[in-house]
Amino acid sequence: MRGVPSRGFTLVELMVTLALIAILAVMAVPSFRSFIANQQVKTASYDLLAALNFARSEAIKRNQDVTVAAVDDDWVAGWEVTSEDGVLKVWDAPGDLDFGDSPTSFTYLPNGRVSGGLSAAVSVCKSEATRRIVNVDMSGHARLSRSGACSG
């Protein structure tokens, strides 16, 4: 005579499975936090790079000065591209980032060069992430680079 086949899980099997899932989740959280921080820094730096390239293009196209400036002189609040005609585009900075001691604006001349003729950089950072630097050279070209881990 055969017994009735078992259907489903026992309470012990279910508890062991949940315990293993909890242990794996606890181990994964720190690296996931680092991943999110790196993505926020990456997104902000690419958005800033896009804003600078957009501003340079608009300055040449409109044959007038175009400025990329931090909102309220703070990159954390975002940035906007403006010309004599008003605000052309606005970006929000993602997350709680640190922009260090960076210049608060860049003005592109009608020839595509940056006003003042000096190269400058904006550092984008967040704890647990890799620092990214948006460099603007004297000719107005913007480039992105990485520069080690952020402190804090």
Listed in order, strand segments (DSSP E) in the chain are 66-70, 79-83, 86-91, 105-108, 120-124, 130-136, 142-149
Task: Identify the pLDDT of residue 52.
Answer: 96
Q: How far apart are CA 23 and CA 40, in angstroms?
A: 27
Contact 114, 95 (CB under 8 A): no
Q: How far apart are CA 109 and CA 122, in angstroms?
A: 19
DSSP summary character for residue 96: S
Task: Identify the pLDDT of residue 117.
Answer: 75
Contact 40, 48 (CB under 8 A): no
User: Which residues, listed in sequence order, are joined to residue 122 by a DSSP beta bridge?
Assistant: 134
Task: Identify the pLDDT of residue 130.
Answer: 86
Q: Is the dihedral of CA 61, 62, 67, 71 positive or negative?
A: negative
- Nearest Cα to Cα of residue 68 among 145, 134, 151, 147: 134
Task: Identify the pLDDT of residue 17.
Answer: 93
Neighbours of 131 (CB within 10 A): 19
Region 54-76 average pLDDT: 94
Q: Which domains does the chain have, with CATH numbers?
A: 11-149 (3.55.40.10)
Q: Which of 21-25, 53-57, 125-129, 144-148 has the highest mean pLDDT?
A: 53-57
